[in-house]
Amino acid sequence: MAKQVSMNHAVELIQSGFPVGMPTETVYGLAARIDQDQALKKIFNYKKRPLFDPLIVHIAEIEQAQKLAKNWDSATQILANKFWPGPLTLVIEKSNLVSDLISSGLTTVGIRWPGHKLAQQLILEAGIPLAAPSANRFGKTSPTKIEHVLTEFTDLPELGVLDGGPCQGGIESTIVKINETADPQKFQLSLLRKGLISSDQIESSLKSEGLDITWVQASGIQAPGQIKHHYMPAIPLIINRRRQKNSYSLSSEIEKRLLEMPTHIDEVELIRPRFPITRIKEINFSLDPELAARELYSELRRSSEDNQAQILLWQQPENLSGFLWDSILERLEKAASLILE
Ligand code: TXA
Ligand code: MG
C-alpha cells in the first residue's frame, strides 16, 4: 500500500526519480520531476494512463514557468500575476525543457503554480518543476484527501504521499489555452476545462489591461474534459433530470439501459453494477456550489463504498446556475454512466 511520508522523504523520492502524492488546493496530484523520462513514465504506469493525455507542470516561482515557455507573452504574464498561485492552468507554447512525454507530443505545455503550501515546498526543495496529474487511476474519481490516494494505490508500496489535509477547492484547475495572434495586443483563448476560476474573471482581467480577447473552440488535441468518461466512481452513477423520482419503473429503465451499454468508452472501462438492480443509493450535494465542489469527489467515493449499493442516483435539482455549478456539472456528466433527461 502507498504510505504517508514526511517532506524530507518526499523530496528524496522526487530527487531519486520516484513519483510522490502531492496535496494541492484543487485535488491531490501524482508528482514527478520533469527532467527524467523514467520518473515521468512511472506516473503513466501508476495511473494506467494512456500516453496521449498530457501532464500539467507545477511550478513555485515565476522564473520556473518562464523557462518552460517558448514566449512569455503579455496575456500569460497578466494571468499568472493575477491568478497564481491558484487553480488556473495556462496552456502555452513550450520550450525544449518540456519533453514530449509531458506534452504528449504537442507543441504546448500546461503550467500551474499551486496554492497549497506543501506543494510549493516540495517543488522548491526538490529544486525542479513537477509534472502532476490528479492522483487517481485513469478515468476514476479524483482524490481530495490523503486517504483517497492511499486506497487508490494499495498495490504500490513504493509510493509516498504527503498529507496536506482535505483540498479546499475540491475540483481541478480551470485550463485555458492562450493563442497569440499577429497583433501583440490580441489573443485568442480556449477554455479547455471549467474549474474554480471563471472565463469571465479571466477575460475581464485581460481586458482591464487593454488586451483584445476572443474565445475560440479548441481544435485538435483534446483536454481530459473532452474525453467522454472521466472521474467515474466505483459503482455506476446515474443522473436523473426528470421530475419522476426513484421508483420501480425508473429502476427497470436504468437496468435495461445499463445492460445495453458497451464495456469501454474512450479506453475507460464502464463500471457495471450487479444485476438485477435492487439497491439504489441516492446521493446529494450541498446547494452551495463552493461546498458542493469541495465535497464532490469525497461524496462520490464515500457513497460508492457502501457495500449494499449497486448504483448511485443523483436527482439533479432544477435551476443550478453560475460558473461553479457549470464546472461541477461538467464533471458529474462525465462521471455518470447514464443521464436521464
Ligand atoms: O488542479 C489540477 O489541475 C490538478 C492538480 C493536481 O494540479 N491536476 C490535474 O491533472 O487535473 P490531470 O492530468 O488530471 O488533468 C490535466 C489535463 C490533462 O488531462 C490534459 O488533457 C490537459 O490537462 N492538458 C495538459 N497539458 C495540456 C496541453 N498542453 N494542451 C491541452 N491540454 C492539456
Ligand atoms: Mg485527472
Query: What local confidence, expressed as pLDDT, does residue 220 receive?
Result: 58
Ion ligand 2 contact residues with beta carbon within 5 A: 134
More confident residue, 116 or 249: 116
More confident residue, 60 or 272: 60
| pLDDT of residue 318 exceeding 70 | yes
Give the ligand 1 atom nearest the CA of 103. Answer: 29
What mean pLDDT is predicted for residues 97-106? 96
More confident residue, 245 or 5: 5
Q: Which of 109-123, 250-264, 325-339 has the lowest mean pLDDT?
A: 250-264
What mean pLDDT is predicted for residues 193-198? 97
266: left (phi over 0), alpha (psi -120 to 50) or beta: left
Percentage, residues of the chain above pLDDT 90: 84
Give CA–CA dist 220/217, Å, rounded. Answer: 10
Q: Which of 30, 23, 26 is nearest to 159 (CA)?
A: 30
Query: What local confidence, expressed as pLDDT, does residue 38 receive?
Result: 98
Please tell me if the CB atom of residue 168 comes closer than 6 angstroms to any atom of ligand 1: no
Please tell me if the CB atom of residue 90 comes closer than 6 angstroms to any atom of ligand 1: no
| pLDDT of residue 311 exceeding 90 | yes
Please tell me if the CB atom of residue 195 comes closer than 6 angstroms to any atom of ligand 1: no
| pLDDT of residue 225 exceeding 50 | no
Ligand 2 center to 136 CA (angstroms) = 7
| pLDDT of residue 271 exceeding 90 | no
Please tell me if the CB atom of residue 240 comes closer than 6 angstroms to any atom of ligand 1: no
What mean pLDDT is predicted for residues 231-239? 93
Ligand 2 center to 220 CA (angstroms) = 20
Q: Which grid coordinates belong to 32?
A: 514527478
Q: pLDDT tier at 207 (50, 70, 90 boundaries)?
A: very high
> Cell 503579455 maps to which residue?
74
Give CA–CA dist 231/28, Å, rounded. Answer: 13
Query: What local confidence, expressed as pLDDT, does residue 243 receive?
Result: 83
Residue-wise DSSP of 282-295: EE---SSHHHHHHH
Please tell me if the CB atom of residue 174 comes closer than 6 angstroms to any atom of ligand 1: no
Give the ligand 1 atom nearest the CA of 172. Answer: 1
Please tell me if the CB atom of residue 104 comes closer than 6 angstroms to any atom of ligand 1: no
Q: Which of 14-28, 194-208, 247-261 has the lowest mean pLDDT?
A: 247-261
Q: pLDDT tier at 249 (50, 70, 90 boundaries)?
A: confident
Q: Whose CA is nearest to atom 13 of ligand 1?
A: 133
Please tell me if the CB atom of residue 159 comes closer than 6 angstroms to any atom of ligand 1: no
What mean pLDDT is predicted for residues 247-273? 84
Query: What local confidence, expressed as pLDDT, does residue 226 receive?
Result: 55
Ligand 1 center to 93 CA (angstroms) = 15
Q: Which residues contact 32 (CB under 8 A, 6 or more apart)?
A: 14, 17, 18, 19, 20, 39, 40, 42, 43, 130, 131, 132
What mean pLDDT is predicted for residues 283-291? 97
Q: Report whether 25 contacts 87 (CB < 8 A).
A: yes
Please tell me if the CB atom of residue 106 comes closer than 6 angstroms to any atom of ligand 1: yes
Q: pLDDT tier at 224 (50, 70, 90 boundaries)?
A: very low
Q: Which grid coordinates belong to 325?
A: 455549478
Query: What local confidence, expressed as pLDDT, does residue 244 receive?
Result: 76
Give CA–CA dist 325/285, Å, rounded. Answer: 11
| pLDDT of residue 227 exceeding 90 | no
Give CA–CA dist 59/126, Å, rounded. Answer: 11
Q: Whose CA is nearest to atom 12 of ligand 1?
A: 133
Ligand 2 center to 229 CA (angstroms) = 11
Please tell me if the CB atom of residue 120 comes closer than 6 angstroms to any atom of ligand 1: no
Pocket test for ligand 1, best of 111, 112, 175 (most atoms within 8 A of CB): 175
Buried b (16+ CB within 10 A) or exposed e, 285-300: beeebeebbbbbbbbb
Q: Which residues contact 300 (CB under 8 A, 6 or more apart)?
A: 141, 231, 233, 237, 283, 312, 335
| pLDDT of residue 269 exceeding 90 | no
Give CA–CA dist 193/230, Å, rounded. Answer: 13
Please tell me if the CB atom of residue 27 comes closer than 6 angstroms to any atom of ligand 1: yes
| pLDDT of residue 98 exceeding 70 | yes
Query: What local confidence, expressed as pLDDT, does residue 218 receive?
Result: 81
Percentage, residues of the chain above pLDDT 70: 96
| pLDDT of residue 222 exceeding 70 | no
